[in-house]
Each structure stands twice: as C-alpha cells, then as structure tokens.
Chains A and B, each alone.
Chain A
C-alpha cells in the first residue's frame, strides 16, 4: 500500500523544485505581461505594419503547443546565440525555458490586455488628449492603469495556467517541482506516492489562488 513517510525527508529537495517552479512562473508572467502589453499596443496602433506583425505573432503562438515551443527553444537558443555572438555561449535549460514561456505567454497576455484596453470608454482617450496629453502619456497615465485594474483577474487566471504549465519543463530535464518529485520518487522506489503528493501540492496552490481570484473578481465587479 501507499507509504507517504518517505516524503518528509525529501521535502527540502522538493522545496527547491517548487522554488524553481515559482521562479519560472513569476518571471514568465512579468516578461509575458511586458511583451504582451507591447504587442497589444502594436495590435491597436494605427500603423498597419505594426498591427499585422503583432497579429501574426499572436496567431502563430496561439496555434502551436507550448511543449513544442519549449522543446524548440531548448534546441535552438544555443544555435541562435552562436549566430549572433559568433562564439559558443552556454545557456542553461532554465534560460531557454524562460524565453519560451515569455514569448508564448505574451501571445495570450496580449489578447487579455487588448480586450482590457478596448473596454475603456473611448471618451477617456478624447478627454486625455483634450488636456493636451500625447498618445504615449494618455496610454501610460490614463488608459493602461484603468485597463490593468479591470483585467487583473484575467491576468491572474492566466498566471495560474502558467503555474501549471511550468511542469512541461520536464521535457528538457529542468528540476522544477514535478521533476524533483518524479526523480526523488524513482530513486526511493516510491514513484506513486511522490506523484500523488506533487498532484496535491499543485492542486492546493492552484485551487487556493483561483479562490483568491474569484474573491477579487467579486470585489472588482461591485
């Protein structure tokens, strides 16, 4: 039968894995939101070329699996860096995964930010410009702060999805939480217990975070 006692001594190692998972998530979200916002502004700009580039980017990344992106970047980033720098530049799996997450999630964040900006009444833009603000100032000071407030729940929801998706770095052997649990379970010979434990931890964090988002949504709705 199941014996979960071996998990206790393994906790420090699992904690390190969890830290890596959280690190990937936080950095992925930050990078993804920044790049995504940039893409959203491009999509909404009057410049046809910029809008098309951003739209293509978003459609492209939304139609391929994240796992493909992670795998491809793992193979390709060292090559590309060599082309750019002309010499071998060692990058670890962590960096290539992070780039993959940022670029992939940016496509999803872009759509959230775009919808958020479009939900702001047009009059706000006009009012700010009537006060003499430039386009950049209007966006930075008036539109984006309002838009981000409204879309916080959606951004957080996407972050929870990213939290779960970080487990895909398993494919490149990065020691995130899932891989830490898998490898320890295999070594000790109790793969099932460690797998169940990993599932419970993911569930607890995601579920709790989702409840917080729900509360926030209710609050913002009032």
Chain B
C-alpha cells in the first residue's frame, strides 16, 4: 500500500532524512517511533507529500509521489491524516468539519456527506456534539472528530502524526481506543507515536528512527522481545520510554 524507497531529504544543507526505505502492506499497522528530531514526523508527512523530498520515491496505492504528473490533491484525498494538534477548522461546526472536504474535494452531495459524517461521528461517540464548534470540545474529543473527519473521505490508508502527544494524559485513552478499533477492523495505518502500549496491542511492525535514518524495522514481537538484539540507540530509547 505504501512503499518508501530510498528517500533523502535536506533542509538547505542539513539532511533530515537519509536513505529511508520501508513498506506498509494492505491491512498492516506500522508504528514509527524515535526521539524527537529523528525525522519520523517528516517521513510520515512525505507520504502524502505535505513535505517535499529531493531523492527517492514513495508509492502510495500504485501512485508515485515523486512523479510530477501525479495529481497530489487527488492522492491526498485518499490518504487520511491525523495531526498532533487536531487541526479541526475552528470556524466550522463539527458537522461542517466532517463534510466540507467530502463536498468540495470528492464532490459528494451535501446529504450524502452529512449522512456519512454523522455515522462516523456516532462511531467515535460524539454524535451529540455535531452542531458544536471545535473550540467547545475537549482535546480528546477534537482528536476523535479529526479521526472521523479523515475517515469520512474513505481513505485507503491512515497516517497518524503523534495523535496523542498534545493531549492531557486522561484523554489519551479515548483516542487510542478509537485507533485500536480502527486497526482491528483492518485499516492500513502508519502511526508516529510514543504510545508503546498501543504498539504492543495492535502494531504488526515497529520502525525506530534516529537522526533521519530508519534504524530498526522489525515485527512487533521482535522489537519488544529480546531487547539485547536491538541496536544500542533503540535500547536507550526504549529504556527511557518504558521508565514512564
């Protein structure tokens, strides 16, 4: 579904991604972790071309990102993304947030969009809030709406960029629950997150990045199994994370 091939990216002369390659198969859940500044957010943003890269290619559902002929808006409309800071549109009501792209990007009718949006809103348990505005919801609720908003586009794959790291601790689980459910339903997911509990529960593979490189890319069992088999940097990272 996603195939990342030898991606290199520079900000000026500073290399932020070095020769990154990996695959995410259909129905697979891949967790990307690593210390801050390791390039994991940059990498996931390359997948839907929010961040340009200079070398290599990423192919999403048979569409090449590096190909200049690719219709990027069209590609992005099939790739759902959930952001650290939710990024709901604050001037629109919750139901408008759920429908605007369905109508303006996919060209669905208003009724169809509303039906779809409300169904998904119900699924994340927030149907009662349809007519509120984002500013009236808690962070956890906003992030659940953001997930529903992405799902409303019928994405072939979902990208999560640290979806719980801006949340108060007591709200993390309500968001993770939605993500777990999604994973169990077979959604293809690529998640940048530090939530190792989530990774243990649903991830098929774990990627560990450091300094712009993919250092580890292995099945969950291996990653959480015999730690001594892991690279030194991954060990350090895990030790730090698991302390908390």
Q: Please say whether the chains A and B touch (CB closer than 8 A).
A: no
Interface positions of B (Cβ within 8 A of A): none
Interface positions of A (Cβ within 8 A of B): none
